Amino acid sequence: MWDYTKKLMEYFKNPRNVGEIKDADGTGEVGSLVCGDALRLTIKVDKATDKIQDIKFQTFGCASAIASSSILTEMAKGKTLEEASKITNGDIAAELGGLPEEKMHCSVMGMEALEAAIKSYRNGGKPIVFEQNPNAHIVCKCFNVSEETIIKAIHANKLRTVDDVTHFTKAGGACGQCKGKIQEILDRVLACEVPASAPKPFASLNVVEKVKAVEKVLNEDIKPKLNLDGGSVELVDINGSTVTLKMLGMCGGCASAGFTLKSFIEKVLKEKVDASIEVKQA
């Protein structure tokens, strides 16, 4: 049994805005019978204000698909198209008080149908099925999921594993043949990710920041290695980009201490802290 929230069950049992607007200004559809879930949204737009006046849904799917569609209509109603197009699947899931991981694709479906409905309105009202782009590179043939959709989902929801991707997009959920390809996409996307804030150059840090940055690398990457040979290292001083270290224990009297200092410690500090760093023995 899925762990559905009370709110989700309420929107499933008493769905809001069910049906179809007869003279709709836009119709967006996503999913299919084969997939096991499908959603159609019809919208009525106030031309003067660009606001969604009315929105109705029809859903074929499980309790979370019905609840996601239902709550989406409430979230979108009264919003301008611009505002509505910013609703993400995460917003839909959050509004329901959360969705089981395996059901996240239900909220994605809502987001996609709304995107299609808005596009349909802007293109004159003819119904648009989400992602029938013939040029799309389809990764998952069972559920017709494109590489673009997968990459978007990875970014938007910070996905890390193939299972995550399946939960959010359904890709890989049936025959599983594309799981290798999904892993490749994940590897590619994750390799490109930049850290949240680019590190400041070492020279521009104050003394405390410099000490912290160097100590962190000493403790995590350098001392454990030296400890293996019964040695260690201590930070003595930092002047500009010159870091003065004292070799301890077995390293203190070791003939190759100088070599270790330059070829190992300095190399790691250059790599992990800043390329400008030079190491000196105290």
Partner 1 sequence: MKIIYFDNNATTRTLPEVLKAMEPYFTESYANASSMHSFGGENKKAIENARRQVAALIGANPSELIFTSGGTEGDSTAIYSATNSYPQKKHIITSAVEHAAVLEVFKLFASKGYKVDFIGVDQYGRFDMESYKKFIDDQTALVSVMWANSETGTIFPIAEIAKIAHEHGALMHTDAVQAVGKIEVDVKKVDVDMLSFSAHKFHGPKGMGCLYVKQGTRFLPFMVGGHQEHLRRAGTENVPGIVGLGKAAEIAKETLHLYKEKVAPLRDMLEQGLTSKIKDAKVNGDISNRLPNTSNISFGYIEGESILMFLNEHGVCASSGSACTSDSLEPSHVLRAMGVPFQFAHGSIRFSLNKYNTKEEVELVISVLPEIVENLRAISPFHGPKTSVF
Instruction: Kindly list the residues in this chain that would bind partner 1 in the complex (CB under 8 A).
Output: 9, 12-13, 15, 18, 20, 27, 29, 32-40, 57-63, 65-66, 127, 129, 142-143, 166, 170, 173-174
Name the residue nearer to partner 1 (CB basis): 36 or 98: 36
Min dist CB 213 to partner 1, Å, is: 46
Q: Which two tokens stand for residue 74?
A: 């409430």
Interatomic CA distance for residues 89 and 14, integer angstroms? 21
Name the residue nearer to partner 1 (CB basis): 39 or 214: 39
Residue 210 near residue 202, CB atoms below 8 Å: yes
Min dist CB 33 to partner 1, Å, is: 5
Q: Which residues pair with 281 in a beta bridge?
A: 245
Interatomic CA distance for residues 4 and 74, integer angstroms? 19
For 94, half-sphere exposure in the C-beta direction (CA atoms, 13 angstrom radius) is 7
- Given 106, 140, 178, 251, which residue is catalytic? 106
Name the residue nearer to partner 1 (CB basis): 173 or 231: 173
Min dist CB 62 to partner 1, Å, is: 4
Q: Which 8-state DSSP code applies to residue 101?
A: G
The full length of the chain comes to 282
Name the residue nearer to partner 1 (CB basis): 65 or 245: 65
Is 106 a catalytic site residue? yes
Helix (H, G, I), strand (E, B) or coil at 31: strand
Q: Which 8-state DSSP code applies to residue 157?
A: H
* Residue 166 falls in which region: left (phi positive, over 0), alpha (psi -120 to 50) or beta: alpha
Interatomic CA distance for residues 229 and 226, integer angstroms? 6
Residue 76 near residue 55, CB atoms below 8 Å: yes
Min dist CB 59 to partner 1, Å, is: 6
Min dist CB 48 to partner 1, Å, is: 28
Name the residue nearer to partner 1 (CB basis): 60 or 264: 60
Give catalytic residue positions: 35, 106
